[in-house]
Structure 1
Amino acid sequence: MSFYLLIKGLLSRKVVTALLLLQLAMTLALLLNSILLAQQTHQQLNQPTGLDLNNIVLVQLKPTTASLRVYPALEELLNRQLAAVSALPGVVAAAYSNQSAILQGGNNGNVYLDGEEGRSNQPSVPMYFVSKDFFHVFDSKLLQGELPQQSVSLDNPVQPDVVITQSLARQLFADKPAIGQQLNRGRLAAVISDFYGQRSGTNVMFNSIQVAPPFGVDWGYSILLRTAPGRADAVRQQLVQTLRAVEPNIEIFHIRTLAEQHQRLYRNEYGLAMLLAILSALMLLVTMVSSYSSTYFHALKRQQEIGIKRALGASKNTIFIELLSENWLCTAVGALLGVMLALLLNQALAQVISIPALSGYLPLITIAVLLLCVTVATWYPAAIATRVSPATATKAL
């Protein structure tokens, strides 16, 4: 079967071929981007966080009374709440913080070496103001220096010491000594193991922590609890009653494990990946039905032509390969158009969500999947066409 005759066969049914090409292109574009998004979401959900997600419980709350949101009443409230939740069975450690980990944005700022802002500045680093057991709750590993043990009063003119995570220390100091260096936030006291802070930062593992009360809690604050393995649900059920017994004038926004927090952080990507996957599956199914119908009716219209070819000595395999080749050529052209459409869709999605650029071997794999589906769909009508008898050619004479 010559390439010219294949093209001529496709052009003989221009409208059907054009619609099928459009359908193939749209299917490939959706399929490619849904696979990209699914891969990225899977990687994000499985990336190391440095945290025991299932055994750390987050309580997000704030006082509803204005007098409790200012010092010294706020500090006294924080201490009473920590004492109450620490006494619950199954709680290993408890701490307050101005914000949780694993967030989309939050309290952040620049961190740089004092006097070297131009060279060392790191923007959008999460800023944590915590109680001293924060490191115990997160089970942070001390890599350098000593952890601060005393909370610094807000009235103290001396800046509290700073603790940073390992990734941020490497970015600021490389292999140079870090402890005792003066940062714009204060003296560096310790370097701890990485944990997932804010998604919106330069690096999700860059974090700055200071043992000091939160500056303000008008937007709320967090109480973080580390529980014994398997006790998170039991602890969580007692938290509302315990916290309201300490102080009824509070609003509890939510109570969840960091595992749930992590899932919620990527729920938009996960939902969109699922939506695109369902649409891609439906488009693939419709494409298979369209390919089947096109081949079937095309074979019916060409019965006399096929009969003549059989009478002239063409084998069943030749007829079979000829019909499949037309569909393979149509799929190849549609796939090329689909790759271009996928690039445009990828750029459009990148304007609203984080999605990897289209590159690498993925288009080839997706084209192979599309080709396989079209082949399966057209196999039966092509096989029916090979049953046309040479006598069919004489019926119209």
Structure 2
Amino acid sequence: MQIRPILAALRRHRLATLLIAIEIALACAVLCNACFLVAQRWKMIQTKSGVDESSLAVLMVNGFEPTQATDVNARMLAGLQAIPGMKSVTLINEVPFGPQAGAAGVSHDPGSFKNIIGVVDFVLGGPGTFKALGLKLVAGRLPQLDDYQPAISFVPNDAQVLVTRALAEHAWPNEDPLGKDFWCDKFHFRVIGVVDHFARAQPHQYAMSEAQWTVFTPTAPGGTLSGTYLLRAKPQDVRRVLQAARAAVAKIAPDVVLDREDSQTLSELRRSYFKSDRVMIDLLIGVVLTLLGVTALGIVGLTSFWVAQRRKQIGIRRAIGATRGDILRYFQTENFLIVSFGIAIGMLLAFVLNAVLMKFYELPHLPLYYLPIGALALWGLGQLAVLGPALRAAAVPPVVATRSV
């Protein structure tokens, strides 16, 4: 197939060729970035909580004074544990995908702002909470009874804590984190164990690489650790047990207020937390499909117009020996050149659009492998879109074409 005659023909239709190329360029830029955004959102939705979500629920109450915390905890723990089907009730300050209660910056040195590790979530848990969560210990040891110390305004001091693998790799790369010390202002912590995964309460507020920066802090009940209860039951019973627990609060502790909105199963908390991500994925997929459809229609319309204009030219070529395959390849090659020109511009536009998104929405750089993926998709779309008009052109009988005006 000779490229030069095709290029000469395209030069005679500069405006139409340029319009289709620009449409393809825009499609390429949007397609690459939309696919990247969909992948980012989907990856976030798949965030591993690290806990046994199907068996857990959280019940939150408030409206009591800090001096009443010990009494409220005692009544709530005893009353909730008596509910049929309840396997365990323990105290916790936050759970994955629920309200955030314990985020703070930590560093390698006390009171230092130079050797910062980052902002982490401190999950305070009473005795039995670690086991109830179902966290997977990958190094070190579990908290012992004497590790559960009272919180001082925020967290216990000199706490023996467990950190996630992600946080350990960030804070002490290529080192054994066990026995390492870190500080949150004046509060000192020492690592006694590492868990595989434990998601933050609100991972959307941080970079994806920081979604698992969590510290499990053994804490004695009372004070800071009060009012939020982790319920564990069999997966098939957890919803019923939570409903029974909600109904029982008025009898167990009539002086507290039930937080119905945040008292949910962990499966419901996850579903609610990532609802906007699912909506965004559906919206982006709809935009991509619409844009690809419009692009394909543009290619079909332009090629059909050119076929109608070139009937006599096609007939002459057929009369002097061109086969149907030659005609088909001509239009496919012509389309390939237009699409390739549009893709080249579109790749530049993709990076410009990504730079805008990075500036206003703090997205990471667009990985380079999205460009060939977008190019292959548009090349395939172009060849499919041109196939119908090209087949009609190849089917034109020479005698009819040569007689056409």
TM-score for both structures, normalised by structure 2 = 0.83
State the AA in 2 paired with 1:239.
Answer: A
CA distance in 2, matches of 1:259, 1:86: 21
Partner of 1:26: 26
Aligned 8 A contact 2:104 2:120 in 1 = yes
Q: Which residue of 2 aligns with 1:232?
A: 238
Using the TM superposition, give the Cα deviation of residue 316 of structure 1 relative to its aligned residue in structure 2, in angstroms: 2.1
* Contact 2:303–2:390 under 8 Å retained in 1: yes
Aligned match of 2:397:
389
The yes-or-no answer on 1:159 pairing with 2:167 is no
| Aligned residues of 1:148 and 1:211 also touching (Cα < 8 A) | no
Instruction: Indicate yes or no: 2:87 matched with 1:92.
Output: yes
Which residue identity does 1:101 align to in structure 2? P
> Of residues 278, 302, 306 in structure 2, which corresponds to 1:294?
302
Q: Residue deviations 1:146-204, cap 9 Å, x none?
A: 52534526599983623122434555566457449575533537324241124245733
- Residues 153 and 224 in structure 2, CA contact (< 8 A), matched pair in contact too: no
Question: Is the Cα contact below 8 Å between 2:249 and 2:258 reproduced in 1?
Answer: no
Q: CA deviation at 1:103?
A: 5.3
Is 2:203 aligned against 1:196? no
Match of 1:250 among 233, 257, 272: 257
Q: Does 1:205 align with 2:207?
A: no
Match of residue 35 from structure 2 = 35
Q: Give, in angstroms, the shift of residue 62 of structure 1.
A: 2.2
Matched, 1:329 2:324: no
Aligned-pair distance for 1:331? 1.0
Give 3-state SS (helix, strand or coil) of 2:210's partner: coil
Rounded Cα–Cα distance in structure 2 between residues aligned with 1:372 and 1:177: 50
Q: Which moved more, 1:111-120 or 1:134-143?
A: 111-120
Paired residue secondary structure (1:273): helix
Greater CA drift, 187-196 or 306-315: 187-196
Distance 1:148 1:113, change over 3 A: farther
The answer to whether the 8 A contact 2:6-2:334 is kept is yes
Change (3 A) 1:35 1:373: same
Which residue does the alignment assign to 2:56? 56
Q: Tell me which residue corresponds to 2:283.
A: 275
Checking the alignment, whether the CA contact within 8 Å between 1:25 and 1:338 is kept in structure 2 is: yes
* Aligned alpha-carbon RMSD (Å): 3.2
State the aligned residue count. 390
Distance 1:392 1:327 in 2: 25
Q: CA separation in 2, counterparts of 1:117 and 1:128? A: 23
What letter corresponds to residue 84 of structure 1 in structure 2? G
Structure 1 position 296, deviation (Å): 0.9
- % same residue: 21
Tell me the distance in 2 between the aligned counterparts of 1:260 and 1:2. Answer: 62
SS in 2 for 1:57: strand
CA contact (8 A) 1:82 1:95 kept: yes
Which of 128, 134, 137 is the equivalent residue of 2:129?
134
Q: Secondary structure at the match of 1:254?
A: coil
Q: Is the 8 A contact 2:180 2:190 kept in 1?
A: yes
What residue number does 1:349 align with? 357
Distance, in Å, in 2 between the alignment partners of 1:155 and 1:291 is: 67
Task: Please state whether the residue corresponding to 1:41 is helix, strand or coil.
Answer: helix
**Residue 14 in 1 paired to residue 14 in 2?**
yes
Q: TM-score, normalised by structure 1?
A: 0.85
One-letter amino acid of the structure 1 residue matched with residue 49 of structure 2: T
Q: Which amino acid in the other structure matches residue 107 of structure 1?
A: G
Give the Cα separation in 2 of the matches to 1:316 and 1:370. 25
CA deviation vs aligned residue, 1:115-159 (integer Å, no higher than 9, x gap): 594775322111233322221221235543552534526599983
Task: Give 5+ residue unaligned stretches, structure 2.
Answer: none
Q: Deviations over 1:7-38 (max 9, x none)?
A: 23223333322322222122222222222222
Instruction: Look up the SS of the partner of 2:263 in the other structure.
Output: strand
Between 1:299-308 and 1:383-392, the stretch displaced more is 383-392
Query: Residue 377 of structure 1 aligns with which residue?
Result: 385
Cα pair distance change 1:322/1:169, threshold 3 Å? closer
Query: Contact conserved, 1:145 with 1:179, CA < 8 A, in 2?
Result: no
Q: CA deviation at 1:377?
A: 1.8
Residue 180 to residue 2, structure 1, CA distance change in 2 (3 Å)? closer
**Aligned residues of 1:162 and 1:210 also touching (Cα < 8 A):** yes
| CA-CA distance at 1:353 after TM superposition | 4.3
Instruction: Decide whether the 8 Å contact of 1:55 with 1:226 is kept in 2.
Output: yes
Q: Which 10-residue stretch deviates more, 41-50 or 314-323?
A: 41-50
Q: Is the alpha carbon distance of 1:135 and 1:91 closer, same or farther for their aligned partners in structure 2, counting shifts above 3 Å?
A: same
Q: Distance in 2 between matches of 1:172 and 1:305?
A: 71
Match of 2:369 among 361, 376, 385: 361
**Which runs of no fewer than 5 residues in structure 1 stay unpaired?**
none
Amino acid at match of 1:227: A
Q: Match of 1:256, SS?
A: coil
Shift of 1:370: 1.7
Give the corresponding residue for 2:318: 310
* Local SS of the residue matching 2:332: helix
* 2:153 corresponds to 1:147: no
User: Separation in 1 of the partners of 2:26 and 2:46?
Assistant: 30
CA distance change for structure 1 residues 25 and 264 in 2, over 3 Å: closer, same or farther?
farther
In 2: Cα distance, 1:317 partner to 1:156 partner: 77
For residues 398 and 156 of structure 2, what CA distance do their matches in structure 1 show?
99
**Secondary structure, counterpart of 1:255 in structure 2:** coil
